[in-house]
Amino acid sequence: MAEATKSTGLRERKKLERRTRLADVAVELFERNGFEKTTIEQIAAAADLAPRTFFSYFATKDDLVLADYTDRLRRILEELDRRPAAEPAWEALRSSFATVADDYEAEESRIRRRFTIMATSPSVAARSLQLQAGWEQALADALTRRLEADPGDPMPRLLAATALAVMRASLQHWLLNIEDGPLPDLVQRSFDQLGVGLSRMR
Amino acid sequence: MAEATKSTGLRERKKLERRTRLADVAVELFERNGFEKTTIEQIAAAADLAPRTFFSYFATKDDLVLADYTDRLRRILEELDRRPAAEPAWEALRSSFATVADDYEAEESRIRRRFTIMATSPSVAARSLQLQAGWEQALADALTRRLEADPGDPMPRLLAATALAVMRASLQHWLLNIEDGPLPDLVQRSFDQLGVGLSRMR
DNA sequence: GTTGCAAAATGCAGTGACTGCAGCTAAACT
DNA sequence: AGTTTAGCTGCAGTCACTGCATTTTGCAAC
Report pLDDT digits (tens) over A147-192. 999 998 999 999 999 999 999 999 999 999 999 999 999 999 999 8
Predicted confidence band of residue B7 (pLDDT cuts 50, 70, 90)? low
Q: What's the per-residue H, E or C state across B48-71?
A: CCCHHHHCCCCCCHHHHHCCCHHH
Nearest residue to B162 via CA among B144, B136, B141: B136
Nearest residue to A27 via CA among A117, A91, A140: A117
What fold characterizes domain B2-59? Answer: Arc Repressor Mutant, subunit A (1.10.10)
Residues 10-39 of A with CB under 7 A from strand D: 10-12, 14, 38-39
Q: What is the pLDDT of residue A2?
A: 38
Predicted confidence band of residue B2 (pLDDT cuts 50, 70, 90)? very low
C-alpha separations of A49 from A17, A30, A69, B153 in Å: 12, 18, 24, 47
Span(s) in chain A for CATH 1.10.10.60: 2-59
Q: Which of A168, A191, A202 to mutate to test the interface with B (most CBs of B within 10 A)?
A: A168
Residue A198 clears pLDDT 60, i.e. is over it: no
* Mean pLDDT of chain A, nearest integer: 91
C-alpha separations of B76 from A75, A82, A186, B138, B142 in Å: 36, 40, 28, 10, 10
Predicted confidence band of residue A108 (pLDDT cuts 50, 70, 90)? very high
Q: What is the pLDDT of residue A199?
A: 47
Residue A200 clears pLDDT 90, i.e. is over it: no
What fold characterizes domain B68-196? Answer: Tetracycline Repressor; domain 2 (1.10.357)
Nearest protein residue to nucleotide C26, judged by CA and C1' positions = B11
Q: Considering the entire predicted model, what is its pTM? A: 0.91
Span(s) in chain B for CATH 1.10.357.10: 68-196
Helices and strands (H, E) in chain B, number of each type:
10, 0
> Which residues 118-157 of B have a C-beta within 8 angstroms of A?
122, 125-127, 129-130, 133, 152, 154-155, 157
Residue B190 clears pLDDT 50, i.e. is over it: yes
